[in-house]
Amino acid sequence: RKVSIIGAGNVGATTAQKIVENGLADVVLLDIRDGVAQGKSLDILEAGPLMGFDTRIVGTGHYEEIADSSVVVVTAGFSRKPGMSRDDLLHKNGEIIRDVAHNIRKFAPDSIIIPVTNPMDLMAYVLWRVTGFPRERVIGMGGALDSSRFAYFLSEETRTSVSNIHSLVMGGHGDQMVPLLDFSTIAGVPVRKIIPSDRLEAIVTRTRNGGAEIVHLMKDSSAYFAPAAAIYSMIESILHDRHRIIPSSVLLEGEYGIRGAFVGVPVRLGNQGLEEIIQLPLSAEESSQLAHSAAVIAEGISALNR
């Protein structure tokens, strides 16, 4: 089994390290910055004797190396810097992702792609369009991270183990995310029955701003440990064919009344990629929040084509 990661920055390299240390798959780490992917790969390998793994990782600048990958994770590109508008980011990363997509189509035409680069729902759309892959093989990472952040905050609030918490965040990965309170539970009990509404509201707001909270603390970088864990969980469900339900950004074709956009919804992931979109009975308010989120993404798709 082979996983390729395009972009050897914070998220890409941390994901590579998790995969290699856990022996999940061999890894190819690719970056355009000369030597960076090679250097980080060697650094990871040199931990093998200490951590006891024999998994392989190759750092490279050449796409030939990604041939025969089961999964290709796309983390190449910029994160938003102060003063950069979302539109600036959209166009800068859009160009990078188009190039990455051409190379994936050429060198790893049978792979499953996990788009991560922001704005993720839109970069997923670009990867899908340019590769021409079926929607089952383009599955964006967003909801896994947002749901994990939500679950962590719920566990902190209630002093309950994260293992007792199931949380679900749908919608666009960004300000438009839609945390689903009726489907978020602690030991099976909906959170609304356990946490007072003002506290719950504060937790939802903190989840929405989860990425920004970390950028604010770190100044010159954004989150990467939890993002890498979120990517890892998706790859693990795919490679081990575990059929886990993980909220992810996939192309909707009428599900939830949405068509033609990548939007975060709960999906079942196995070795064919997207196996099923789980359709939940949403409340009227949640449905309208999801529709709003999808409209913002659709607007982004139009901006991409301008």
Q: How far apart are the first and last CA of the chain?
A: 39
**Active-site annotation holds for 173:** yes
Distances (CA, A) of 89 to 199, 206, 262, 271: 34, 23, 18, 32
Q: Which is nearer to ligand NAI, 225 or 299 (CB)?
A: 225
| Residue 63 in tokens | 């796409």
Give 108 or 141: the residue with its C-beta nearer to ligand NAI: 141
Q: Which residue lies nearest ligand NAI, judged by its C-beta?
A: 9
CB of 136 to ligand NAI, least distance (A): 20
Please, where are the H alpha helices in 159-260? 197-208, 210-218, 225-239
Query: Smallest distance from the beta carbon of 4 to ligand NAI, in angstroms?
Result: 11
Residue ranges in contact with ligand NAI by CB under 6 A: 6-12, 31-33, 36, 75-79, 93, 96, 99-100, 116-118, 120, 141-142, 145, 173, 221-224, 227
Residue 145 or 238 with smaller CB distance to ligand NAI? 145
- Least Cα distance to 20 among 40, 39, 49, 44 occurs for 44
Task: Supply the minimum distance, in Å, between the C-beta of residue 81 and ligand NAI.
Answer: 10
Which is closer to ligand NAI, CB of 195 or CB of 250?
250
With the CA atoms of 147, 153, 157 and 161 taken in that order, what torsion angle do they form, in degrees rounded to the nearest 10?
70
Packing angle of the helix pair 143-158, 225-239 (nearest 10 deg): 120
**Closest by CA position to 235, among listed 67, 58, 73, 22:** 73
Place of tokens 């920004």: 212
Smallest distance, ligand NAI to C-beta of residue 111, A = 16
| Least distance (Å) between residue 196 CB and ligand NAI | 29
CB nearer to ligand NAI: pick between 209 and 222: 222
Q: Are 104 and 131 spatial neighbours (Cβ–Cβ below 8 Å)? A: yes
- Residue tagged active-site, from 91, 102, 173, 292: 173
Bridge partners of residue 27, in order along the sequence: 3, 57
Q: Where are the beta strands (DSSP E) in the chain?
A: 2-6, 26-30, 57-60, 71-74, 112-115, 165-166, 169-171, 177-179, 185-186, 189-190, 244-253, 259-270, 273-277
Measured from the CB atom, the residue of 221 and 283 that comes closer to ligand NAI is 221
Smallest gap from Cβ 188 to ligand NAI, in A, equals: 28
Q: Which of 297, 305, 265 is nearest to 122 (CA)?
A: 297
Question: Hey, which residues are catalytic here?
Answer: 173
